[in-house]
Amino acid sequence: GWKDVISTTIINFNNEKMQITWPARELFSSENVSFSYTFDEGKNKVWKPCPIYLLDKDYNSGCLFKTEGPTLAISIRSSNGSEELFSKTLKSDFYIKPNRPENVTFFWKADTVTVSCNKPERAVKCLTLELQYKSKFDKDWQSRTSKCCSVGEQGFDPRKCYSFRVRLKRLVPYCNVVNYSSDWAAETFWMNGTLLDSCGDDIKSHSNTVTVLSCLLAVLLVMLILLILLCKWQRLRKSVMPAIPDPKYVFADLFNDHNGNFQEWIDKTDHEMVQTKLEYEEPECIIEEESHQEDEKNCDKQEPQEKIFSFSRAAENNNPKAAQIACLMPTSNTIASFAGFQILMNDDMYVML
């Protein structure tokens, strides 16, 4: 009954090595079976023991040996070889798994990519070349298959980075009874005909560029906001706290030429005046008919209360120090007004207000 239930896996690696495996732990858990094979045909077969066993937890679960012909016969026996548990005869050429492609080259022209590899020495007509590719925006691989040993595809975006991989496949059922393909060749990364180490570099560089630009824009925006706030603050400060004029600049010659000596400065200014007009304003005297002569004398003896000095327009225009001065001179004190400042003169004392 064992001959009908044993399931084996047969692989012929590029018609060079054979690998036969079976479920040892499930079928032969009580003993360690032996394996033998032969490529001879006819009655006079020479059986060869397995040179290399494949183990599954100390159980013989497979055998690896050299391919020596197109027809293979295998036999699985008990541990001592007295009882045959399984046997089979097969065509080894129908179980070929090709080697991975060699010397893979990429040719770019506009949006078309052509991939080619070296032709195998055997059974080229039974092979096809499969190309798979995807960009960083694709979730799944895109596939394209052509006859060995060249395949082309169109529609590639030169701005995108693509991952490529290729493998050889055996035609089923014309050449193989099992759909075997080679292992994938080394995965490569390309962008507009340029070989890259990985597409992660392209993503990283793009991410870095976006980060730098974002930081620059943020800095410029912050500087603009600070400049606007500064201008508004200057306006607010001027409206709330207007600037107080410094007399040092209004009376530059007073502080520079006379070291703040107001008496010396005012004396020099008096000599430079173009025209001085002294006006006396006599107080009105109202003499009533019933008033006495003594009141008249008192009224006549009354001295002028104010002395007003004014400068002509010529002095105002030609001499900036003498823009306009009005001197109010009562009996005991004198008040002078000059360029927005008031000067109180009392006897020998001068006070600038």
H or E element at residue 21: strand 17-21
- Both 181 and 122 in one domain: the answer is yes
Residue 162 DSSP code: E
**pLDDT given at position 294:** 52
- Tell me if 181 is assigned to some domain: yes
- Both 38 and 70 in one domain: the answer is yes
pLDDT at 276 over 50: no
- Report CA dihedral (281, 283, 284, 286) to the nearest 10 degrees: -160
Cα angle: 26, vertex 13, 93; to 5 degrees: 95
**Paired tokens of 64:** 């690896």
CA pair distance 272, 285, nearest whole angstrom: 37
What confidence tens digit (pLDDT) does each residue in 44-96 have?
889 999 999 999 888 899 999 999 999 999 999 988 878 888 899 999 999 99
- Report CA dihedral (317, 321, 323, 329) to the nearest 10 degrees: -140
CB atoms within 10 A of CB 80: 8
pLDDT band for position 208 (cuts 50, 70, 90): low
- Both 89 and 136 in one domain: the answer is no
- Tell me if 127 is assigned to some domain: yes
pLDDT band for position 313 (cuts 50, 70, 90): very low
- Tell me if 243 is assigned to some domain: no
Among residues 259, 255, 243, 244, which one has the least CA distance to residue 321?
255
42 compared with 5, residue with greater pLDDT: 42
Beta strand ranges found along 79-181 (DSSP E)? 84-91, 96-97, 105-109, 112-116, 127-135, 142-147, 150-153, 162-170
pLDDT band for position 347 (cuts 50, 70, 90): very low
Q: Residues 159, 205: contact at Cβ < 8 Å?
A: no
19 compared with 325, residue with greater pLDDT: 19
- Tell me if 320 is assigned to some domain: no
- Both 115 and 72 in one domain: the answer is no
At 199 the three-state DSSP class reads helix
What confidence tens digit (pLDDT) does each residue in 124-152 have?
999 999 999 999 888 899 999 999 999 99
**pLDDT given at position 249:** 55
Mean pLDDT value across the chain: 76
- Both 109 and 30 in one domain: the answer is no
- Number of domains making up the chain: 2
pLDDT band for position 26 (cuts 50, 70, 90): confident
254 compared with 155, residue with greater pLDDT: 155
Domain boundary among 139, 173, 196: 196
Domain boundary among 196, 212, 246: 196
pTM over 0.75: no
- Both 56 and 133 in one domain: the answer is no
CA pair distance 151, 68, nearest whole angstrom: 33
- Tell me if 327 is assigned to some domain: no
Domain membership of residue 40 as a residue range = 9-97
Burial grade of 63 (CB within 10 A; 0-12, 13-18, 19 or more): buried
- Tell me if 207 is assigned to some domain: no
The average pLDDT across 292-316 equals: 45
- Tell me if 204 is assigned to some domain: no
- Both 84 and 111 in one domain: the answer is no
- Both 91 and 15 in one domain: the answer is yes
- Both 110 and 183 in one domain: the answer is yes
Q: Please, where are the H alpha helices in 191-292?
A: 199-240, 247-250, 252-256, 262-272
pLDDT at 322 over 60: no
At 250 the three-state DSSP class reads helix
What confidence tens digit (pLDDT) does each residue in 84-123 have?
888 999 999 999 999 999 999 999 888 899 999 999 888 8
The average pLDDT across 322-329 equals: 38
**pLDDT given at position 14:** 92
Q: Residues 92, 73: contact at Cβ < 8 Å?
A: no
The average pLDDT across 27-54 equals: 89
- Both 89 and 114 in one domain: the answer is no
The winner for highest mean pLDDT among 19-33, 167-181, 327-341 is 167-181
Domain boundary among 97, 127, 146: 97
pLDDT at 4 over 70: no
The CATH number that applies at residue 64 is 2.60.40.10
- Both 45 and 21 in one domain: the answer is yes
**pLDDT given at position 211:** 81
Burial grade of 301 (CB within 10 A; 0-12, 13-18, 19 or more): exposed
CA pair distance 11, 326, nearest whole angstrom: 123
- Both 59 and 114 in one domain: the answer is no
**Paired tokens of 179:** 């759909």
pLDDT band for position 353 (cuts 50, 70, 90): very low
- Tell me if 338 is assigned to some domain: no
**pLDDT given at position 252:** 65
